[in-house]
């Protein structure tokens, strides 16, 4: 097992990509902490992990709250004795728009969850990783954080900021054997992308990727396993697109729906 004896926190793990990563990490031997504000979804992720023979703990956590994040890390160490991996996956992208039409409250909430959240989670996870000799932080970004999307100013800005936060963390903490990398998924079938359940929307979205299909949570989860494993022990400060070639498509990225 590629993650045997490791302990991982995954934020936003009540559904979608976060749930996919939690399940695959457990399959690879990690003990996982499922962190989310969605209690029902988080509990269901734990049930799925445990039903497959894994070990998991749900922690209700609002990643915009320093107190909540500190308590999440404390609960992880109290239960499992250590922390090796942090996956910053929690996101907010509701009500986004082009700048003139964008509400200030939407901008604030998007950046609070999607950018401040990874800052806080890293801030409180790093001392535990350093204490045990190292670790891995994986930030889930987006193709929109690499090339930008429209009309999606807040989401693109938050994901672009996450790209550079990742590199700053890698620079500052590489000497402590903490690796920090980013995954940039393409269009992926999750509850947040409910429109992709419509065949005509999915077919149109598939044509926007060089490999002409939409993504599944498992596509990102496979990459997250590699970046958390010892196989990636000399890999840090990189962004790995897992997007079927979306950011490389001729003419650039189309507007985000």
Domains of the chain: 7-248 (3.40.50.720)
Predicted TM-score (pTM) of the model is 0.94
Distance of CA 257 to the CA centre of its chain: 20
pLDDT tens for residues 181-193?
999 998 888 777 6
Nearest alpha-carbon partner for 32 in 93, 89, 113:
89
Mean per-residue pLDDT for 98-117? 98
Q: How confident is the model at residue 83 (pLDDT cuts 50, 70, 90)?
A: very high
Nearest alpha-carbon partner for 134 in 180, 91, 168:
180
CA dihedral 56, 59, 63, 68 (to 10 degrees): -140
Mean per-residue pLDDT for 12-24? 98
pLDDT tens for residues 136-159?
999 999 999 999 888 999 999 999
Mean per-residue pLDDT for 175-179? 98
Catalytic, out of 25, 155, 173, 222: 155
Mean per-residue pLDDT for 106-132? 98
Does residue 225 have a pLDDT over 90? yes
25 is catalytic: no
Residue with tokens 């429209």: 150
What are the Cα distances from residue 53, in Å, to 16, 35, 57, 125? 20, 19, 13, 26
For CA atoms 63, 69, 71, 75, give the dihedral sign: positive
Does residue 255 have a pLDDT over 70? no
């Amino acid at each position: 097992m590629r993650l045997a004896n490791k302990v991982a926190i995954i934020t936003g793990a009540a559904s979608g990509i976060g749930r996919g990563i939690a399940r695959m990490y457990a399959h690879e031997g990690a003990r996982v902490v499922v962190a989310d504000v969605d209690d029902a979804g988080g509990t269901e992720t734990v049930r799925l992990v445990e039903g497959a023979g894994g070990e998991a703990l749900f922690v209700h956590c609002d990643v915009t709250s320093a107190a909540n994040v500190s308590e999440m890390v404390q609960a992880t160490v109290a239960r499992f004795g250590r922390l090796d991996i942090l996956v910053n996956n929690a996101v907010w992208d509701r009500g986004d728009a082009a700048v003139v039409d964008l509400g200030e409250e939407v901008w604030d909430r998007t950046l609070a969850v999607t950018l401040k959240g990874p800052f806080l989670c890293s801030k409180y996870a790093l001392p535990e990783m350093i204490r045990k000799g190292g670790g891995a932080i994986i930030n889930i970004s987006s193709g929109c954080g690499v090339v930008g999307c429209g009309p999606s100013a807040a989401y693109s800005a938050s994901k672009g900021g996450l790209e550079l936060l990742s590199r700053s963390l890698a620079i500052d903490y590489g000497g402590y054997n903490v690796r920090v990398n980013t995954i940039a998924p393409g269009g992926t079938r999750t509850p947040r992308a409910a429109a992709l359940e419509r065949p005509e929307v999915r077919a149109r979205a598939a044509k926007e990727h060089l490999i002409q299909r939409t993504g599944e949570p498992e596509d990102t989860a496979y990459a997250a396993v590699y970046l958390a494993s010892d196989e990636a022990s000399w890999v840090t400060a990189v962004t790995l697109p897992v997007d079927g070639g979306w950011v490389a498509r001729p003419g650039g990225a189309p507007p985000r729906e």
